[in-house]
Amino acid sequence: MQLPERPVTTPCGHNFCLKCFQKWVGQGKLTCAKCRSSIPAKMASQPRINSALVVAIRMAKTAKSINSNGPTHVYHFMRNENRPDKAFTTERAKKAGKANACSGQIFVTVPPDHFGPILAENDPKRNRGILVGELWEDRMECRQWGAHLPHVAGIAGQSDYGAQSVALSGGYEDDEDHGEWFLYTGSGGRDLSGNKRTNKEQSFDQKFEKLNQALRVSCLKGYPVRVVRSHKEKRSSYAPESGVRYDGIYRIEKCWRKVGIQGFKVCRYLFVRCDNEPAPWTSEEHGDRPRPLPAIKELKNATDITVRKETPAWDFDEKERWKWMKPPPVSRKPVITGKPEDGKRARKAQRLAQNLSVRERLLKEFSCLICRKVMTSPLTTPCAHNFCKTCLLGVFANQSFVRERSREGGRALRAQKIAMKCPACPNDISDFLQNPQVNREMMDLIESLQRKTEEENVEEQQQSEEGGSDGEEKSAEDEDNIAEEKQPAEGESKNTEADAEKSFPKTNLESGKGEATKEPNEVSGRGSPIVCFKRKKALAAGPSGKKRPKTCEFRNISAEDSTLADKKPDEDADNSETVNNGEETKAEAVNAESPSSPFSVPADDDSSQ
């Protein structure tokens, strides 16, 4: 049993390959090969492919290939955190200009599609960022510090996202370098078929596509572009004598197309420097200031001129600083942090999101053409359209299959069949509606997808609840500890009659006996002026020179407190009787357990255990 190729669904709800179905019908068999139900003659002569089932099978195959261990031709892969600071380069790679050389570790923690300068927070190794004028031995080392990632291509970017950096390395003779601004030529127009790595002869026109379109997007949006210059740029006075140098941030002001030196059209870009740090070739202490654009003579004969109309994202503010005036583009690629656990977490999240998206898309493909929801009890018509059983039957609920006819004389005519058109096409499905059969295979597939999705949602909720419950327990414990620490201090600070009533309300006095016997601290009434009065009276009657127990929390009892305690029982006789009759007996039982003093109160250390 294999997945059907170009599946055809019979009215009885079974699926077959188109080739197998035609072979079966070609033998004169007009019954289903599984259940022997009859197949309509029209469907037998003109079978229709079930497009929804085709998409579902294709997506299932794609998901299986994506979630597999990967293609067989990848034999070795080394992650960034496992790479050395400088990879070993073979003699063969050196002869080819290190085009196929291996890269060392990436030292900065910025995503590959990062726009703008690389700051100190993205440089965990040196904690200074990429400075203007920084020099590297070659393009491979420049790549390790994130200034320009491609070690062969001159443009780093994406056609629908923008360009992050460019390299001036003498690749095109149309380039003009004037330091603070330069004219850059786009890529393409050369035949690199076969095993050609470079070709200096242009054979066709350049177009605003791929990397050229990426530069055009940066021009329209006003994104900052990092620029590096290589010693291979022999025609420029601003190129370094050796190695590769980072020269700061530039912005593309205009782009156009013109006929180049070799007679074919090339894409041209005007780059103007806009960095807060001075250029490597100037002795000024401050960075760039907004300057008027230079006059470009070749614009007279140019075509496809593009000029930015909106406010640039990277611009000069009132504080004389170049910065982001608009939020920078959100990265679409993962950040290289160098931590293995971050990579594992990102890959796991990506894998789960990928699987979930595949299931969601599968369920979306299994949607009813009437209610636009996932089908329940799916029906596949002979015209290969899928509906819920209740939806399809509900459309024709008030219609009969035949219409009775009669003449004026009373003679009955033969009943006329009523045509019932499919809700998605003009085909008649009246014969199918007389005995519709649910597509069991499709229903089982939908139920299995829904079940897996629900199980994963439950697992995610449980994981989130476990993480949240741990935090709530910790916060609850902290609140309890804080409350216990604050309780004695609050008892000491009650010096007025109103405060005394708040600290020992009637509801606490009239609470049940079982509640009072559970905690000794509640019986003793820590912070209660009535209990303090009893302790003071007992201590006054005791032998002279007897020290106060260390466990007692009430130290300096003022005269106002004692008078307040004397007045309190008289003002509320009922409450005092309740305390004397009920609570005193419990207090005596509790105090009898401590041999040191009948009035000792457990310390904070004891109560917390």
Candidate from 51-55, 104-108, 398-402 with smallest mean pLDDT: 51-55
The model's pTM is: 0.47
Indicate the DSSP class of residue 497: H
Provide the pLDDT for residue 372: 83
Q: Compare 251 and 459 and report the one with higher pLDDT.
A: 251
What confidence tier does 525 reach under pLDDT thresholds 50, 70, 90?
very low
Provide the pLDDT for residue 271: 97
Q: Record the tokens describing residue 539, joined without a space.
A: 């201590």
Percent of the chain topping pLDDT 90: 26
Q: Compare 195 and 122 and report the one with higher pLDDT.
A: 122
Characterize the bridge pairing of strands 314-316 and 322-324.
Answer: antiparallel
Task: Name the CA dihedral angle for 597, 601, 603, 609, rounded to a multiple of 10 degrees.
Answer: 110
What confidence tier does 541 reach under pLDDT thresholds 50, 70, 90?
low
Burial of residue 428, with CB atoms counted within 10 A of its CB: 0-12 exposed, 13-18 middle, 19 or more buried: middle
3-class state of residue 296 by DSSP: coil
Q: What is d(CA 378, CA 441) in angstroms, rounded to the nearest whole number?
A: 10
Percent of the chain topping pLDDT 70: 62
Provide the pLDDT for residue 397: 86
| Domains of the chain, first to last | 1-49 (3.30.40.10), 107-191+200-335 (2.30.280.10), 493-607 (no CATH)
Provide the pLDDT for residue 167: 95
Q: Compare 339 and 41 and report the one with higher pLDDT.
A: 41
What confidence tier does 472 reach under pLDDT thresholds 50, 70, 90?
low
pLDDT in tens, 261-314: 999 999 999 999 999 999 999 888 889 999 999 999 999 999 999 999 999 999
Provide the pLDDT for residue 33: 86
pLDDT in tens, 481-519: 544 544 444 444 444 444 444 443 444 434 444 444 444
Provide the pLDDT for residue 147: 94
Characterize the bridge pairing of strands 322-324 and 386-388.
Answer: unpaired
Q: Would you say residue 184 has pLDDT above 90? A: yes
Provide the pLDDT for residue 133: 92
Number of Cβ within 10 Å of residue 105's Cβ equals 18
Residues 6+ apart with CB under 8 A from 251: 222, 223, 224, 225, 271, 272, 274, 312, 314
Mean pLDDT (whole number) for 582-592: 45
What confidence tier does 60 reach under pLDDT thresholds 50, 70, 90?
low
Mean pLDDT (whole number) for 543-555: 46
Q: Compare 527 and 189 and report the one with higher pLDDT.
A: 189
Tell me how far CA of residue 85 lies from CA of 31, 79, 102, 114, 499, in angstroms. 71, 13, 12, 22, 70
Q: What is d(CA 286, CA 278) in angstroms, rounded to the nearest whole number?
A: 6
Mean predicted lDDT score pLDDT of the chain:
74
What confidence tier does 207 reach under pLDDT thresholds 50, 70, 90?
very high
What confidence tier does 530 reach under pLDDT thresholds 50, 70, 90?
very low
What confidence tier does 1 reach under pLDDT thresholds 50, 70, 90?
low
Characterize the bridge pairing of strands 224-230 and 162-168.
Answer: parallel
Provide the pLDDT for residue 526: 43
pLDDT in tens, 122-156: 998 889 999 999 999 888 889 999 999 998 889 99
**Per-range mean pLDDT, top range of 129-138, 340-349, 576-585:** 129-138
Q: What is d(CA 443, CA 440) in angstroms, rounded to the nearest whole number?
A: 5
pLDDT in tens, 384-438: 888 999 999 888 888 888 887 777 766 777 778 888 888 888 888 888 888 888 8
Dihedral sign, CA of 258, 262, 266, 272?
negative
